[in-house]
Structure 1
Amino acid sequence: MQDEKQQASAWFRTLRDEIVARFEALEDSHAAGPFSDQPAGRFEVSETKRTSDDGSDAGGGLMSVMRGGRVFEKVGVNISTVHGTLGERAVAAMAARKDLPGMKDDPRFWAAGISLVAHMQNPHCPAVHMNTRMFWTPHGWWFGGGSDLNPALEYEADTADFHGVQKAACDAHDETYYDQFKAWADEYFFVPHRGRARGVGGIFFDDHNTGDWATDFAFLQSVGQAFLPAFVPLIERRRETDFTEADKDAQLVHRGLYAEYNLVWDRGTKFGLETGHDANAVLMSLPPMAKWV
């Protein structure tokens, strides 16, 4: 499995590089409309480190964050490859979802992935989240991830186009995947204490293991590669649209909903903090400004 781990970790870095380059190109090409007179944004890149309980190195990654650009108010694209031993709470949470005999006796793990959250300057441009990951223990491996759209001001055409790209990526591997993973996203990204979804959905999957690593990895790559074609055209369509104070207010209120979900319900946030990963990288998803009514 060592070769497979290296393949996955290297691919997450490749995807990260493609996204960072495309987002900076969006900044450069924004020449008209709101915020076009500002300097083009650039990513600030820093290394992240994870330290095990005994103080030894346990991996890390890269945190890439752009703030105050022409198009992106804040966007983070993080990658990490970490390893170590799961604590009791993490083992218990995992055992509740998976049949992994022996996990309590041998709680070693290895995980790699990419995580992205973008909060936009123009409220007509939707926020977005994407991640893909591979997880390994001595008792099994699996893939997870997905992508979901979070507009403050909803456009049916944008939602349809975003979902259409996700469906095509899924259908190329299994025509049952899209309906299954769309329903999973609708359930996972629901905010119980608000009684509503945090956005207009997308796809989400976890614990994905058909028994064929190469096939499953190819599917994961398709999900990651679908992100830019699904998201960038929506931004190019909306970034020059004028907006009102009411539009901006709606965006800030929606960001409050997004922050509530990520802090209270998101499983990835909890796992990252509980396993000792860099807190700034874990909480990169939070918006730069938000509002509650």
Structure 2
Amino acid sequence: MSVQFETEKNRASAWFRTLRDDIVSAFEALENDHSTGPLTDMGAGQFEVSTTKRTSDDGSDAGGGLMSVMRGGRVFEKVGVNISTVYGTLGDRAQKAMAARGVPGMADDPRFWASGISLVAHMQNPHAPAVHMNTRMFWTPGAWWFGGGSDLNPCIEYDDDTAHFHATQKEYLDPHGTEIYPKLKEWADEYFYIPHRNRARGVGGIFMDDRNTGDWEADFALTQDIGRAFLPAYVPLVEKRKKQDWDAADKDAQLVHRGLYAEYNLVYDRGTKFGLETGHDANAVLMSLPPLAKWI
């Protein structure tokens, strides 16, 4: 098992890097191609790339990744596309949380390995929707699984944008079984719900966790297609909405909605909690927070 999964872990980590490169290239192209509409007099934004590192309690290497962040672009006000591959021994809190979820062997052996990509985009134009996407693989000596998805978070909702986003995801997931998309859509609706506000964070998408059917190849292929669906589901929406004019009321609605987004990520998001509890770079973990927000 250990020899096999060294190969599988390397394949998964390499895939997340490939997906990251494709998305960074597509987002910089959106910046460069923005020739009509608001903020075209500004210079095109570019990603700043930095290395993140994680160290274990004894100071030894425990992995790391790349943090790619664009700030103050003419399309993207702030967008981060991070990848990481981390490993080591889970702390007591994280180990207990994994054991409570039923991870086999976690109570006796807290070693882990995790790799993934995480993306959050906050837009300049209030008509262009914010978006979140991540996919990941997690391994312990007793188990492995995949997780992640993508969801749309517009402050000004357009039914045709929502329909396109969902239809594209369904198109990419249906080859894996027509039951997959409805299940992951429902899971996203439940996961991205904010109980203290009695509302959803956005207009949904797809989400899964603890995906282990016993067929690693099939589960990895599904995870890859969740990633492949992202750009065709999202980029056309940005291309359309980045050209619209907006007013002060539109911007105010965007800032209020960002407050909702921040509340969810800080209070409920499992990935945020795991990243901070396992000692990953705090700036990379909290990259998802918007540059500006307000509360009423």
1 CA distance for matches of 2:157 and 2:81?
24
2 CA distance for matches of 1:75 and 1:269?
17
Bigger mean CA deviation after superposition, 170-179 or 250-259? 170-179
1 CA distance for matches of 2:102 and 2:247?
48
Matches within 5 A, 1:219-258: 219-258=222-261
Cα deviation digits, residues 59-87 of structure 1 (max 9, x gap): 00000000000100000000000001111
SS of match in other structure, 2:35:
coil
Matched, 1:14 2:42: no
Matched, 1:33 2:37: yes
Q: Please say if residues 259 and 293 of structure 2, whose CA atoms lie closer than 8 Å, have aligned partners that are also in contact.
A: yes
SS of match in other structure, 1:193:
helix
Matches within 5 A, 1:193-204: 193-204=196-207
Aligned-pair CA distance for 1:99? 4.3
Matched, 1:46 2:50: yes
Matched, 1:57 2:68: no
Aligned-pair CA distance for 1:226? 0.4
Bigger mean CA deviation after superposition, 277-286 or 86-95? 86-95
Aligned-pair CA distance for 1:98? 2.5
- Matched to 2:207, the amino acid is F
Matches within 5 A, 1:61-76: 61-76=65-80
Structure 1 counterpart of 2:186? 183
Gaps of 5+ in 2: none
Structure 1 counterpart of 2:208? 205
1 CA distance for matches of 2:197 and 2:181?
26
User: Which residue, 248, 261, 264 being the options, matches 1:261?
Assistant: 264
Cα deviation digits, residues 204-234 of structure 1 (max 9, x gap): 0000011111111111000001000000000
Number of aligned residue pairs: give it. 292
Cα deviation digits, residues 67-115 of structure 1 (max 9, x gap): 0001000000000000011111112211222241x21211100000000
1 CA distance for matches of 2:93 and 2:188?
24
Structure 2 counterpart of 1:155? 158
Structure 2 counterpart of 1:280? 283
- In structure 2, the CA distance between the partners of 1:22 and 1:108, relative to structure 1 (3 Å rule), is same
2 CA distance for matches of 1:49 and 1:99?
26
- Matched to 1:97, the amino acid is R
1 CA distance for matches of 2:102 and 2:78?
35
SS of match in other structure, 1:159:
helix
Matches within 5 A, 1:86-101: 86-100=90-104
User: Which residue, 135, 138, 142 being the options, matches 1:139?
Assistant: 142
Cα deviation digits, residues 246-270 of structure 1 (max 9, x gap): 0000000000000000001100000
Structure 1 counterpart of 2:112? 109
1 CA distance for matches of 2:135 and 2:6?
19
SS of match in other structure, 2:138:
strand
Q: Please say if residues 120 and 288 of structure 2, whose CA atoms lie closer than 8 Å, have aligned partners that are also in contact.
A: yes
SS of match in other structure, 1:226:
helix
SS of match in other structure, 2:53:
strand
Under a length normalisation based on structure 1, what TM-score does the superposition of the two structures give?
A: 0.99
Aligned-pair CA distance for 1:116? 0.1
C-alpha root-mean-square deviation of aligned residues, in Å? 0.6
Matched, 1:3 2:7: yes
Cα deviation digits, residues 182-221 of structure 1 (max 9, x gap): 1110010001111100100000000001111111111100
SS of match in other structure, 1:169:
helix
2 CA distance for matches of 1:2 and 1:25?
35
2 CA distance for matches of 1:137 and 1:112?
12
% of aligned pairs identical? 75
2 CA distance for matches of 1:27 and 1:248?
20
Matched, 1:81 2:96: no
Q: Please say if residues 162 and 203 of structure 2, whose CA atoms lie closer than 8 Å, have aligned partners that are also in contact.
A: yes
Cα deviation digits, residues 101-136 of structure 1 (max 9, x gap): x21211100000000000000000000000000000
